[in-house]
Amino acid sequence: MTIPPPLGLLAELTHRCPLRCPYCSNPLELARLAAELDTATWLRIFREAAELGVLQLHLSGGEPALRRDLPELIRGAAAAGLYTNLITSAVTLDAARVTALAEAGLDHVQISFQDADPSSADRIGGYAGGHAKKLIAAAAIRVAGLPLTLNAVVHRQNLERLPEMIELALALGARRMEVAHVQYYGWALANRDALLPTRAQLDAATATVDAARARLKGQLTIDYVVPDYHAARPKACMGGWARSVMVIAPSGRALPCHAAESLPGFDFPNARIQSLQDIWTNSEAFNRYRGTAWMTGPCAGCPNAEIDFGGCRCQAFALTGNASNTDPACALSPHHALLADALETATQPHFTYREPGRAPGG
């Protein structure tokens, strides 16, 4: 049986970031500057990805704009035929830099916003003046004619301002918006008690999105997914393990999911020394949870197995201690009650910022 090639490559160019979001999806152990891949290696990876069948490249981090070679990386990716999408906090992007990226062939920019209210946004991101810098960057992106997606990461401490975040997307000229609920592993799991939304908040948010979608048809597309803690079925994490996306971490480690480094007992292959084709097709790590053959418990034989692929391996491990279990977000999981219990106890007002060398909760 031949394995269909990935459609997307998520390149985490660096773990460095000026912000300190308490829900950051980077691993607890952040890669240092010295461990990062050099320009030539990234360019080789991009060419290999295009040959393998990847169509879209997502340049992410950390903060990818901290890489001085970013224009060169974009130029190389575009030359390889890849669609390039920059996923950025935008606090370091000024007009000159945006112009350089556009000229290098960048196709699309996604800026994450921590809130619509500047002081709350700066508090959540742990970076004074960050929100104002994002507004300047977004204006420069508009001037450069680059299409913009506004990514709003939502949780208990900002959900009530979702209507203002939608207004912000419109004001900045974004054509697309992602309303992304925090996913709880790594830093976010450690801060879960301070971030989990209430049922009432969630219902209000869903109603807000529904109304905005109807009102803004043809003007703003809104992507929105109900968060796991309030759902009865899990999401197909990454569209299924090793099915459509490959992630390359800053040090070259290849992962089927950006949180996979949280899983024990894996020897993830490294793109420094192994080809993407070989990693995708032959590595034990990519094959371990590919498809449905690995499933046990309620997933094995479930009619939804090919739809959600049993949910998220990282969430299964984080909450049940076994990555092979059904994601507890599924109501059929024997561990499903863990999510309801977490909602009950989520009343903490304070969170811990992500910082290199800092243990969450410490």
Partner 1 sequence: MSLTEASAPRLARGYRLRRDAARDRMVVLGPERVFEADETALAILALIDGERSVAEIIDALAAQYAAPRSEIAGDVLEMLADLAERGVIAP
Q: Which residues are annotated as a binding site for [4Fe-4S] cluster?
A: 17, 21, 24
User: Between residue 303 and residue 362, which ones bind partner 1 under the rule CB under 8 A?
Assistant: none
In the list partner 1, ligand SF4, none, the entry touching 176 (Cβ below 5 to 8 angstroms by class) is: partner 1
Task: Give the span between the Cα atoms of 149 and 67, in whole angstroms.
Answer: 21
> Rounded to the nearest whole angstrom, what is the least distance from the CB of residue 235 to ligand SF4 in the complex?
10
Interaction between residue 218 and partner 1 (CB under 8 A) = yes
Please pick, from the candidates 3, 28, 52, 302, the single residue that binds partner 1 as defined by CB under 8 A. 52
Please pick, from the candidates 28, 135, 146, 302, the single residue that binds ligand SF4 as defined by CB under 6 A. 302
x/- map, 3-42, ligand SF4, by CB under 6 A: --------------x-xxx--x-x----------------
Task: Give the span between the Cα atoms of 115 and 131, in whole angstroms.
Answer: 8
Write out the binding residues: 17, 21, 24
214 burial via Cβ count (<10 Å: 0-12, 13-18, 19+): exposed
**One-letter amino acid for residue 28 of the chain:** L
Please pick, from the candidates 39, 41, 99, 221, the single residue that binds partner 1 as defined by CB under 8 A. 221
31 burial via Cβ count (<10 Å: 0-12, 13-18, 19+): buried
In angstroms, the Cα distances linking 137 to 65, 74, 92 are 12, 18, 8
Using the contact rule CB under 6 A, the part of the chain among 28-36, 48-56, 270-278, 300-308 near ligand SF4 is: 300-308
> Rounded to the nearest whole angstrom, what is the least distance from the CB of residue 134 to ligand SF4 in the complex?
10
Interaction between residue 121 and ligand SF4 (CB under 6 A) = no
Interaction between residue 326 and ligand SF4 (CB under 6 A) = yes
Task: Give the span between the Cα atoms of 19 and 12, in whole angstroms.
Answer: 16
Interaction between residue 208 and partner 1 (CB under 8 A) = no
User: Between residue 57 and residue 116, which ones bind ligand SF4 under the rule CB under 6 A?
Assistant: 61-63, 89, 112
Using the contact rule CB under 8 A, the part of the chain among 142-150, 295-303, 319-327, 338-346 near partner 1 is: 142-150
> Rounded to the nearest whole angstrom, what is the least distance from the CB of residue 57 to partner 1 in the complex?
11
On whether the CB atoms of residues 60 and 82 are closer than 8 A, the answer is no
Interaction between residue 298 and ligand SF4 (CB under 6 A) = yes
Q: Which residues form the interface with ligand SF4 (CB under 6 A)?
A: 17, 19-21, 24, 26, 61-63, 89, 112, 233-234, 298-299, 302, 304-305, 308, 310-311, 326-327, 330, 332, 354
